[in-house]
């Protein structure tokens, strides 16, 4: 049973470019969360999605960041016009749904903005 998959594992972008991070949840999981981990800091919640719906985006910066989880395909976190402060590890987690509060994390995408 494959775990949560994220790609790419490492991504380098120049300032002003766009970054696209992908997450495929565990089989049978329909709930996806994105978290960001800055150096020397804990994991910070960004957004919670179900298929075709954004449930909670209270942790998402208001500008340049967007997320989607289409009916088919992986969840995507998109960062437009990246700045150096966006350099971080971005983790995706998935949850099975009803009556379950465990979240299972992927290996992360490490974004470096040069």
Partner 1 sequence: QKEVEQDPGPLSVPEGAIVSLNCTYSNSAFQYFMWYRQYSRKGPELLMYTYSSGNKEDGRFTAQVDKSSKYISLFIRDSQPSDSATYLCALNKGSTLGRLYFGRGTQLTVWP
**Interaction site with partner 1 (CB under 8 A):** 4, 6, 31, 33, 35, 40-45, 48, 55-56, 58-59, 91, 93, 95, 97-108, 110
Of 93 and 111, the one with the shorter C-beta distance to partner 1 is 93
Write down the residue that tokens 């992927």 correspond to: 106
Of 63 and 99, the one with the shorter C-beta distance to partner 1 is 99
Of 72 and 102, the one with the shorter C-beta distance to partner 1 is 102
Smallest separation (angstroms) from partner 1 to the CB of 57: 10
Smallest separation (angstroms) from partner 1 to the CB of 94: 11
Following DSSP, what letter does each residue of 3-61 receive, concatenated? --EEE-SEEEE-TT--EEEEEEPPTT--EEEEEEE-TTS-EEEEEEEETTEEEE-TTS-
């Amino acid at each position: 049973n494959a775990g949560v998959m994220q790609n790419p594992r490492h991504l380098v972008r120049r300032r002003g470019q766009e970054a696209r991070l992908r997450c495929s949840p565990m089989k049978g999981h329909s709930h996806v969360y994105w978290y960001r981990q800055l150096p020397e800091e804990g994991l910070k919640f960004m957004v919670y999605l179900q298929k075709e719906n954004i449930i909670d985006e209270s942790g998402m910066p208001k500008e340049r960041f967007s997320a989607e989880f289409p009916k088919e395909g992986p969840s995507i976190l998109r960062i437009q016009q990246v700045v150096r402060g966006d350099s971080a590890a971005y983790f995706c987690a998935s949850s099975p749904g009803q009556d379950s509060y465990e979240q299972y994390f992927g290996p992360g995408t490490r974004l470096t903005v040069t």
